[in-house]
């Protein structure tokens, strides 16, 4: 069911203005109501004490405000915070808040589970439960504003549970809620959408006028190697994904989880140089989160550093990221999997209905970047 929090600011304002007119309330009330959705959010209209009590009661009946429940929160020694959110229907998703200096990056989920079954991703073990509604995506930020110690992220990355572009309609609206000045007001250049490369929705994202950032979950420099790690390669081949990037007017980032003996060889480096240069992309090298990938071994730190140096020597901008939250279940999907919530998957949507190729081993995390 669509709620007032599912509506973009202009639509929400129009809906509330119409309701106020029918209720015989003065038109100026809408300027009091709209900021309480996202800018200065309340859990219930009853908490908006600047409004008359009778109006608050009517609003709670006519326009109830849905909420996520913070069921579990873990905090790492490095300050990383992992939240498990319970959704109204009982499903659960995760988000991770990563502080670094003045920057606070929130990694958010767009689906409960994921149908893609990438070999290094714990979320894939649970399959797709369902898509999130637009409000459930943006509420991962809203709930932080409502917490006992309110915090507003400076950056948001769609690198949590799920493939954002398999839930494009909700993500499209959520991007507006995250960015619009009348909603959460986070700058477009501080919002990153990470995707394996779902071509139809990728084209729609490219048509948006805002300067949202794009990260492509690459993880292999050739189509053949990528297929052994990511079943989606059967449907959307790497050359087609790379060609689609030309529609973006801003620099693209390649996300590359480093797996020892799989994608960290010299020949992989040289192939990655070729495609990164052709796309004008920078490369984020991500360590495989330890403990979450039976059958897969993280590339040693020294090799990650030399791999990054090799890219830079050949003219490719590259950053070797460090793992965060190693003392908690900070990798995407790990906390939910650890709680045993991996059964009862639903059928994948058409674009995500792919098979696991033979010979692919264990799972770890869907990587995140400090974008």
pLDDT tier at 365, thresholds 50, 70, 90: very low
More confident residue, 332 or 229: 229
Q: What is the pLDDT of residue 76?
A: 87
Task: Say whether 136 is catalytic.
Answer: no
Band (pLDDT 50/70/90 cuts) for residue 346 is very low
107, 118, 121, 332: the active-site residue: 332
d(CA 299, CA 289): 10
Stretch 188-213: mean pLDDT: 97
- For 69-352, CATH gives 3.20.20.70
Of 25, 94, 143, 255, which is the active-site residue? 94
- Of residues 2 and 94, more confidence is placed in 94
**pLDDT score recorded for residue 360:** 26
Q: Is-catalytic flag, 332? A: yes
Q: Are 283 and 276 in contact (CB under 8 A)?
A: yes
pLDDT score of 369 more than 50: no
Q: Residue 303: enclosing H or E segment and its boundaries?
A: helix 301-313
Q: Which residue has the tokens 């069921």?
A: 71
| pLDDT given at position 210 | 97
pLDDT digits (tens, 9 = 90+) for 132-174: 999 999 999 999 999 888 999 999 999 999 999 999 999 999 9
Q: In the structure, what pLDDT confidence band is assigned to residue 291 with cuts at 50, 70 and 90?
A: low
**By percentage, how much of the chain surpasses pLDDT 70?**
85
Global pTM exceeds 0.75: yes
Going by pLDDT thresholds of 50, 70 and 90, the confidence category of residue 94 is: very high
DSSP secondary structure of 151-200: ---SEEEE-SSS-GGGGHHHHHHHHHHHH-TTTT---GGGEEEEES--HH
Q: Provide the residue ranges of all domains of the chain, joining segments of one domain with +.
A: 4-62, 69-352
């Amino acid at each position: 069911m669509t709620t007032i929090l599912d509506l973009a600011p202009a639509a929400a304002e129009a809906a509330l203005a119409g309701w106020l007119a029918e209720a015989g309330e003065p038109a100026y009330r809408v300027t009091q109501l709209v900021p309480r959705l996202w800018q200065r959010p309340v859990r219930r209209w009853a908490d908006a004490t600047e409004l008359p009590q009778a109006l608050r009661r009517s609003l709670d009946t006519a326009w109830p405000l849905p909420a996520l429940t913070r069921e579990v929160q873990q905090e790492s020694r490095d300050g990383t915070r992992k939240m498990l959110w319970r959704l109204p229907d009982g499903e659960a998703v995760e988000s991770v808040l990563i502080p670094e200096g003045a920057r606070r990056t929130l990694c958010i989920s767009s689906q409960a589970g994921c149908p893609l079954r990438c070999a290094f991703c714990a979320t894939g073990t649970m399959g797709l439960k369902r898509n999130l509604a637009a409000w459930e995506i943006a509420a991962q930020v809203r709930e932080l504003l409502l917490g006992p110690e309110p915090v507003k992220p400076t950056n948001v990355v769609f690198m949590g549970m799920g493939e954002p572009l398999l839930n494009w309609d909700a993500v499209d609206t959520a991007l507006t809620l995250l960015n619009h000045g009348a909603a959460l007001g986070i700058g477009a250049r501080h919002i990153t959408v990470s995707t394996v490369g779902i071509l139809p929705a990728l084209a729609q994202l490219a048509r948006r006028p805002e300067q949202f950032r794009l990260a492509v979950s690459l993880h292999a420099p050739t189509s053949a190697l990528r297929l052994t790690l990511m079943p989606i390669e059967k449907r959307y081949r790497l050359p087609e994904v790379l060609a689609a990037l030309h529609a973006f007017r801003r620099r693209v980032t390649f996300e590359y989880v480093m797996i020892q003996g799989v994608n960290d060889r010299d020949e992989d480096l040289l192939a990655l140089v070729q495609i990164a240069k052709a796309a004008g992309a920078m490369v984020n090298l991500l360590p495989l989160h330890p403990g979450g990938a039976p059958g897969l071994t993280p590339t040693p730190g020294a090799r990650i550093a030399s791999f990054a140096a090799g890219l830079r020597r050949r003219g490719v901008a590259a950053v070797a990221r460090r793992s965060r939250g190693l003392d908690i279940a900070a990798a995407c999907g790990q906390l939910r999997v650890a709680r045993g919530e991996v059964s009862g998957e639903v059928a994948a949507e058409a674009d995500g209905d792919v098979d696991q190729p033979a010979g692919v081993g264990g799972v770890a995390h869907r990587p995140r970047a400090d974008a």
